[in-house]
Structure 1
Amino acid sequence: MDNQINGNPTKTFFIEMITRDISIKDAILDLLDNSIDGANAINPNDYTGLYIDITVSNDGFKVKDNCGGFTLETAKKYAFRFGRPDEMVHNAGSIGRFGVGMKRALFKMGMNFEVESKTDNDHFQIDVDVSQWKNKKKTVTLDNDDEEQIEIDDWNFEYQLISLETVNLEENGTYIAVSNLKKEVSAIFSDPEFLVELENDIERFLNFSLEKGLIIRLNGKELKKRGVVLFNEQSKPYMYEGIIDGVTVRISAGLSHVGEPKASGWYIYCNDRLVVEENKYEETGWGTSNIPKWHPDYVMFKGVVFLDSEDTIKLPLTTTKKGIDTTSELYKKVLFFMREAMSSVLGFLKEVRKLGSEANDYRKMLGEQEANITVAVLKTANIDEERLFISPEIDLDTIADKKSHVRIAYNVDRELASKAKQHSECSSFKQLGEYTFEYYLKMEELTN
């Protein structure tokens, strides 16, 4: 028809433009998210026995997992589509949402890539030369009187079945290799500092999966789960749990430590994936609706939001998974409770500020009473019906006493410490520390 305007996308847009919206580290995290989605399909609560091996060098990139793989049907209908079809069935608890992550990551890195997948029923491989694929065309016949034939972009990928010998996979899982790296990517992969930053990002953003027992290795080094210091032991954090627009929402906010001002602020998890961290800006309520802008006086504030849904499309994620869609109606409703939590906790911190010269000493004293728990434990903690933050007492006499004392800490072998505790008849390791110090003073006659 003469009144039609061509609105089809171009391959160049996907190869060269959409890849600019994501960093190399985030592209790698996107690929790891796919592996974790596979692990989640096996057992959402326990990833023990599952692994992801990542190899990064200036010659190429590889990621291999034993997280179940994806079927040939999934590859044909969904995995290699540019965008997620409406009819696609979402994996419960998945973090993948838009259907662009894997392709964007591969196009971001290099000009050749290979994807191999093995399941109980399928074992296949897809090899792509990006330059050849970019120029690949097919002829179609128009549905008109002349049956005119034209050439259009062929977006399809070709696969090969693997029926006898395993190529790269001994177990059900996925293997991805990118070669012929882009020059700038090869330079990044050659930088030792990049590997340190990538390791740090994986441990932070995928900590939940590490908590569930998943093993992630980067260039042979096994990465570690992180216990997070969250709230002061002498206070009760604000806690809320409910279902909003089909999404399970859990919010915790309270007092944390003062040692790292950067760590203050809001943390938001979507289906156990950290997407916002250390946020002190308007998007998490700071400086809006009677909430003050973040200030060093509020350094002890820490809030954690968990958003969970079996239907990922309901989560207010951005495509890079490094932010929240603040225009989302769901998020606007969640923000109400976040502001409520902030009003309560910041009200107490304003009272601390009134202590003047004693304020910093009081903050430090509270910082010595931290609860070392993981966010995974926080997510399953019991929540009372009342959304109350209960602050610790402000005791000036205790502050004065603390100023005349110092805290001594040291690490020793646990088995030897237990023997010493039993021999000295101390009831705790804290008491043992005090006992050994007093014993030293007595032996050296320093108390005279």
Structure 2
Amino acid sequence: MFLSIIADYDLTTSICELVDNAIDHWTSNSRRDGTQIDIFMNADRQTISVVDNAGGVSADQIRLLISPGASRLFTSDELIGSFGVGGKRAGIALGERVEIISRHDETPATRLVIDNEWLSNDNWEIEVKRVAEGEVGKTTVRISELRQGFDYAAIEALKTHLAAVYYSFIKLGCKIKVNGTEVGAINFDVWAFPPDYPPRSSQFKISPDGSGDISVDLAGGLIRDRDPEAENYGVYVYCNDRLIVSHVKNHEVGFVKGEAGVPHPDASLCRVILRLNGPPSLMPWASNKNALNYSHPTFLELREKIIYLTKYYSTLSRRLKNDRDEGVYRYQSGKVVDIDLSQPGTQKQVVLPPVPRGRSKPYPDRLMDENAGVFEKAPWTRGLVEAMGIVDVVARRNIDTKGRVALILLDSNLEIGLKEYIVHQTDKFPPQKFTDAKISELFKARHLVINAVKPIQGISETDWGKVSHFYNMRNKLIHERASIQVTDRDIEDYRKLVSRILSILFGLNFEV
């Protein structure tokens, strides 16, 4: 039975379960000062230890460490463990040998071992020994003979994960350390406060089962910490102060056509944060606390309210996409505005300020209108501008390979632009010197082209270095065996660079 319920546990999920157990013990002991959870991960020896001083497990509660389904009786507490299997299956999911030592008071510590020998035995009895080691109030879980290995990169990733998941507990004074290094606290309430479009929140209670109450804090707004590579927008859910899911962008929370729209970088300023506090049995989490149960009555009662906010702020994000620096990011402080979403259907009655109207023409058309005067004097620039419009269209499409398509378009367009400049700037590149054969020879190597046009004022050495960087990315994509990953951030950076160079060369304007 134990082995059959560990399939959905990976390294991070398993360690978090052990941390959850320590935090619940801390909460049950009134969250006393000085509580610390130490995680030791030896990548060379492939061992893991989790040590906490949250109070220890008393002798009469030692069965909680091993009995499936057994958990604390504090059902009214806002705990983060309720299924009675998390820590047990997490330990077994990590390794074939799990040793637990806990000391609650001045009496000797208790020790038990879960290993393959016990798991394969039909006898459910397990030997619990009294041992001299262990400080009062401490519990140590040692895991060896790991089922899944880890490296140093995994340790660093775990630190970041812990900093986000346990933000609230860290701020309340529970220290978490990994190999002696204290984990910081990562918060996601990084709101922007545009004067007409501040973040909004609503606090109320619900009773999904008709008996217990859940306190709800639902907030939405535009963000200042947008990360195109991490795609850190969408819905974040905390249950009893623990982060359960982050940047969710599925149809269950409104990211579907007709509501907030399909996930797209244009909507990447939208964030909605849901905080639920109450009996753990009423929380809409999966048993591994790494996903939501979207059919849970608690979530179903809140779903329309969540979609209401994702739809509004996703639309607002799209409308302000061309004015992020001045219209959004610059407003770093302000007040979160209260709205009332407590009653069923209330969100339909709440009137939020209308989102700004979108531009009447798409970006490629605005580009052509803006540069019409340049086309009359230099018709060869029309294709350069049209290509930049096509890059914008590609970048907006929800296709897996848009990055590499956009990279090839941008790099080819820049190369054509440099060629057009050399051909038409006859005072700087006299035809008798830059013959067709000479130009053909130049464009066999990008560095020769760059050396020829380097004297142009306004293009820095840094810019030329970036050009070479993206040119090498294109070559890796086309000429090498393994394809590289091209991120949204790469395309955004290269598009700005190509636009800037073409503007200097031909007087074109791409800021429309």
Please, what TM-score do these two structures have when normalized by structure 2?
0.61
Are 1:276 and 2:262 an aligned pair?
Answer: no
Q: Return the match for 1:172 from 137, 141, 146.
A: 137
Are the aligned partners of 1:316 and 1:324 in contact in 2 as well (CA < 8 Å)? Answer: yes
Q: Distance in 1 between matches of 2:291 and 2:113?
A: 31
* Superposition pairs of residues 30-45 of structure 1, within 5 angstroms: 30-44=17-31
Return the offset for 1:42: 2.5
| Counterpart amino acid of residue 64 in structure 1 | V
Q: Which residue of structure 2 aligns with residue 291 of structure 1?
A: 260
Q: Distance in 1 between matches of 2:283 and 2:327?
A: 39
Q: Which residue of structure 1 aligns with residue 440 of structure 2?
A: none
* 1:362–1:104 Cα change, 3 Å: closer
Q: Deviations over 1:394-419 (max 9, x none)?
A: 9x9xxxxxxxxxxxxxxxxxxxxxxx
Q: Which residue of structure 2 aligns with residue 194 of structure 1?
A: 154
| Counterpart amino acid of residue 14 in structure 1 | F
Secondary structure of 1:68 counterpart: coil
Structure 2 gap segments, 5+ residues each: 208-212, 342-349, 360-512
Q: Return the match for 1:63 from 42, 50, 66.
A: 50
| Counterpart amino acid of residue 33 in structure 1 | D
Q: Distance in 2 between matches of 1:89 and 1:368?
A: 46
Q: Return the match for 1:361 from 282, 305, 323.
A: 323
Structure 1 gap segments, 5+ residues each: 1-12, 137-152, 353-358, 373-377, 397-448
Q: Which residue of structure 1 aligns with residue 67 of structure 2?
A: 81
Q: Distance in 1 between matches of 2:68 and 2:50?
A: 21
| Counterpart amino acid of residue 244 in structure 1 | I
* Superposition pairs of residues 139-178 of structure 1, within 5 angstroms: 153-162=122-131, 165=132, 167-169=133-135, 171-178=136-143
Are 1:20 and 2:1 an aligned pair?
Answer: no
Q: Which residue of structure 2 aligns with residue 207 of structure 1?
A: 167
Return the offset for 1:74: 2.0
* 1:256–1:79 Cα change, 3 Å: same
| Counterpart amino acid of residue 21 in structure 2 | N
| Counterpart amino acid of residue 37 in structure 1 | D
Instruction: Return 278-287 or 254-263, whichever deviates more.
Output: 254-263
Q: Distance in 1 between matches of 2:125 and 2:298?
A: 36
Structure 1 vs Structure 2: percent identity of aligned residues?
Answer: 21
* 1:123–1:384 Cα change, 3 Å: farther
Q: Distance in 1 between matches of 2:102 and 2:204?
A: 38
User: Which entry has the higher C-alpha Rg, 1 or 2?
Assistant: 2
Are the aligned partners of 1:114 and 1:127 in contact in 2 as well (CA < 8 Å)? Answer: yes
Are the aligned partners of 2:234 and 2:310 in contact in 1 as well (CA < 8 Å)? Answer: no
Q: Distance in 2 between matches of 1:332 and 1:289?
A: 19
Return the offset for 1:360: 1.9
More strand as a share of residues: 1
Q: Which residue of structure 2 aligns with residue 49 of structure 1?
A: 34
Are 1:346 and 2:332 an aligned pair?
Answer: no
* Superposition pairs of residues 224-235 of structure 1, within 5 angstroms: 224-234=184-194, 235=197
Return the offset for 1:97: 1.6
Q: Return the match for 1:113 from 80, 98, 113.
A: 98
Q: Distance in 2 between matches of 1:289 and 1:91?
A: 40
* Superposition pairs of residues 256-275 of structure 1, within 5 angstroms: 256-257=223-224, 259-261=226-228, 262-275=231-244
Q: Distance in 2 between matches of 1:102 and 1:118?
A: 18
Q: Which residue of structure 1 aligns with residue 291 of structure 2?
A: 323
* 1:371–1:99 Cα change, 3 Å: farther
Q: Which residue of structure 2 aligns with residue 356 of structure 1?
A: none
Secondary structure of 1:305 counterpart: strand
Q: Return the match for 1:302 from 258, 271, 282.
A: 271
* 1:290–1:222 Cα change, 3 Å: closer
Q: Distance in 2 between matches of 1:388 and 1:202?
A: 38
* 1:319–1:122 Cα change, 3 Å: farther
Q: How many residues align?
A: 340
Secondary structure of 2:160 counterpart: helix
Instruction: Return 360-369 or 254-263, whichever deviates more.
Output: 360-369
Please, what TM-score do these two structures have when normalized by structure 1?
0.69
Are the aligned partners of 2:199 and 2:337 in contact in 1 as well (CA < 8 Å)? Answer: no
Return the offset for 1:346: 3.4
Q: Which residue of structure 1 aligns with residue 403 of structure 2?
A: none
Q: Deviations over 1:134-175 (max 9, x none)?
A: 243xxxxxxxxxxxxxxxx2223221234xx4x132x31311
Q: Deviations over 1:231-257 (max 9, x none)?
A: 112333221222112211110001112
Q: Distance in 2 between matches of 1:233 and 1:274?
A: 24
Are 1:252 and 2:237 an aligned pair?
Answer: no
Q: Distance in 1 between matches of 2:86 and 2:328?
A: 43
Instruction: Return 228-237 or 319-328, whichever deviates more.
Output: 228-237
Return the offset for 1:318: 0.3
Higher relative contact order (CA 8 A, sep 6+): 1
Q: Deviations over 1:212-231 (max 9, x none)?
A: 12111111111112244521
